Structure formats: structure tokens, C-alpha cells
Amino acid sequence: MDYRLTALAVIVVLLAAAVGYLAYRVNQPVKPVTITLPVTSTVTVTSTSVATVVTTTSATLTTTATSTLTTTAVTTVTATVTPVQNMRIASLDPACSQIIFTLGLGNKVVLIDTYSEQLLSYFNVTIPSNATVLTSIWPTPSIEAVVNASPTVVCYDLGFYGTSTLASFSSIGLPLVIINGTADRTFQQIEMDVYSTAKALGVPERGLAVASWMNNIINGVRSRVTGLSEPTVVFMGWNNPIYAPSNLTFIGYEITIAGGLDVVNTTVPWPTITPSQLIVYNPDYIIASNFMGNCTATLEAIMQVPGINYTKAVKEGHVYVLGNLATSLVEEPGPLSVYGAEVIAAILHPEAFGLSNVPQCVSGEWVISNLKPTLPSQGG
């Protein structure tokens, strides 16, 4: 999924745009954002909202726990709420797609991107046969393709595409559900994206159920690594220049949940760092996305970074490359990113998962066999 490059954050909002899969994601701090569009229904979810987490069987809602969903940003979702049975959804990136499918609305999708299709295939999810699949979404998805799919609502990742593309999409008059997405920094903010989207689409109880499901997995990971050592980590999205998300990103947060410490402490979330900085950080572990397309080539590219042999990660044999599934779980800020934290935790603390070791190339088959990720159960 090498498709992220940096986009500029503009106008009032200052929410960061994306760095392509080579740079992977945003290069600006998250700031509060409110988007107002000329549509009929507005749902605003603000900081420190408290919601009751529910599970649902048919139409009966059963309260099982109370979850506090807290975010440092304001999420505003604006959309015309179409009855679920008539809904036609265009999902423009994997963060949106994860939300839509975990809410049990995948059968309403009429447009999706190829990266989402690839990720969902690992979960044996079949994309609706009539859905348009976008083969490219950078720098913007095809507005013509979106219009031709005749959606009743479009899910838009503001953190990835930014505000200039948003202006283009809002001008065509399609109702939008806007998530912070790539600009999120914590699981709590991702949960707010889920809940606000679910509320806008008329299934708020499903959003709460997904948040509860996420928290169960997060708490399970935390319980495994509590009290263990806290190794230092650099996550590498490219080698020349070195793209490494800082501890201000959701990837940094995943590393924290996994019992590690993201040592990239720059003032911007998605920096490039020099080989000298990498040597100074001297991480215990280097975990990389599969940015060269295969593990061997990616490992060779990593080892070409000047001075990298001086790092503890190389000296101790702690350099790992994530395959497509593991990369998507770590790098896409949707509900399934909780499994990204679990992947990292297994690498840092294999003994906590009953593993003697983790392979240097973390394939999708390994993730499925050892961690057994699943989608939450939802009605359709």
C-alpha cells in the first residue's frame, strides 16, 4: 500500500494532510476542526464525551459497560441521514472502510479503494459485486468515479486528503461523513470517528459496540505487557529519506499500548529523520512497513542506511518488516488498528503471547495463524 505522500494543511483548520505510504501520513499537529456543509443533519461529538457501550442482538440493546470516549479534537460529522435500507456508501480510504465494515454496513458500499479491498480480503470479506473499486486514491480519488457510483453518502478522511480536496467534494453536493482519520493520535480519537460516523449513518448503537470491542482488545494487549520491559522503537516507513512517525501519532500510541516507547520525539507527527538522528535514538527495535514490496528487498534497503549497524536493533537482531496485512493494521487508523498494537506487542514481547520468537518478515499468514484477528460481529 505504498500510496501516502504529504499534502498541505490549509485554511482555518490546520488538520494535517497525508504523507504517502512512502512518507506515510501527515506532517502537521492535530488541531480542533469543525466542518460545516450545506446538508441536513449535523452531529457534533466533543471532548470527554461519555457514552454507554452496548451490544446488540436484533433490535434489542443490552447495556454491558460504560465507556468514556475522550478526544482532544472536535469531530463534526455532517450528512443527510438516509434510511439504512436505502443507503449507498462511497468509502474513500481504508480508515473509512474499516469503520463502515465494522459497523456492519459493508453491504451498502458502492465504491471502495483497492487498498481497503486488499485488507478486507484477509478477513474473508467479500466486497459487493456492484461496487466500483478505485485503483488509485492519491493525490485525490476520482470525483467522476464517485459520482458515477451514485452514493447517498461519502466517507471522507480529512486527515489524509485535507481541506482542498474536501472543497472539491463538497462542491458536487454529495452528503459527506467526515472523519479525522489520519490525523487521529489515540485509539480514543479513532473510537470517536467510529461513533460519530455510526450516529450520522443512523446506527449509533453499533458505533458504541465497536468502541467496546476495540477497548476489549486494547485491554487484552495491555494486560499481557504490563510489568514487562519497555524497549525503544523506531517505526520506519521508508529508508531514503527515513520516514518515521513520532510519538505524537496513532502509530506512536500503538507502540505505547504494545509496551514499547516510540523514541522519535520530534515536534511534528510525521517527520523525516537523518541517519545521524537514528543512531542517536539508538532504538532497541526497528519495525518497518514493507516499503520495497518484498521483505528481502526492504531489509536490504534498511541495512543501506548509513551507520545503522551501530544501533542496538541491528546488533541484537531486532529488525522486523511487516507484510501487507500487518502494515495495514499498524498504519491505517481504523478500528482494526487495535490489532496493529497487538502485532507490535508480539514483536516486542513474544513471551507474553506464548511465542518463542517472531519471524523477521511478519507475513499475513503468520498474523492470522498466531493472533487470529477478526471483525466485530454486527448486523447488516
96-117 b/e (C-beta count within 10 Å ≥ 16 → b): bbbbbbbbbbbebbbbbbbbbb
Q: Which residues, at least 6 apart from 168, have a Cβ–Cβ distance to it below 8 Å?
A: 140, 143
pTM to 2 decimal places: 0.81
Find the largest Cα–Cα distance for the chain. Answer: 60
| Cα gap 278→239, rounded to integer Å | 11
pLDDT at site 172? 87
pLDDT at site 247? 96
Give 64-83 pLDDT, tens digit per residue. 333 344 333 334 444 455 67
**For residue 28, what is the DSSP state?**
S
Answer whether residue 313 shows pLDDT above 60.
yes
Lowest average pLDDT, out of 43-47, 112-116, 223-227, goes to 43-47
pLDDT at site 378? 61
Answer whether residue 357 shows pLDDT above 60.
yes
Q: Are 32 and 196 in contact (CB under 8 A)?
A: no
| Cα gap 157→180, rounded to integer Å | 6
Superfamily, domain 42-221 = Nitrogenase molybdenum iron protein domain (3.40.50.1980)
CA atoms within 13 A on the CB side of 101: 26
Tell me the sheet residues that pair with 306: none
| Cα gap 329→325, rounded to integer Å | 6
* Among candidate residues 189, 204, 339, the one with its CA nearest the CA of residue 269: 189
Lowest average pLDDT, out of 41-55, 142-156, 259-273, goes to 41-55
* Among candidate residues 82, 93, 314, 343, the one with its CA nearest the CA of residue 193: 93
Query: Is-same-fold flag (42-221; 225-371)?
Result: yes
- Residue spans per domain, the chain: 42-221, 225-371
Q: From 3.40.50.1980, 3.40.50.720, 2.70.150.10, 3.40.50.2300, which CATH number describes the 225-371 domain?
A: 3.40.50.1980
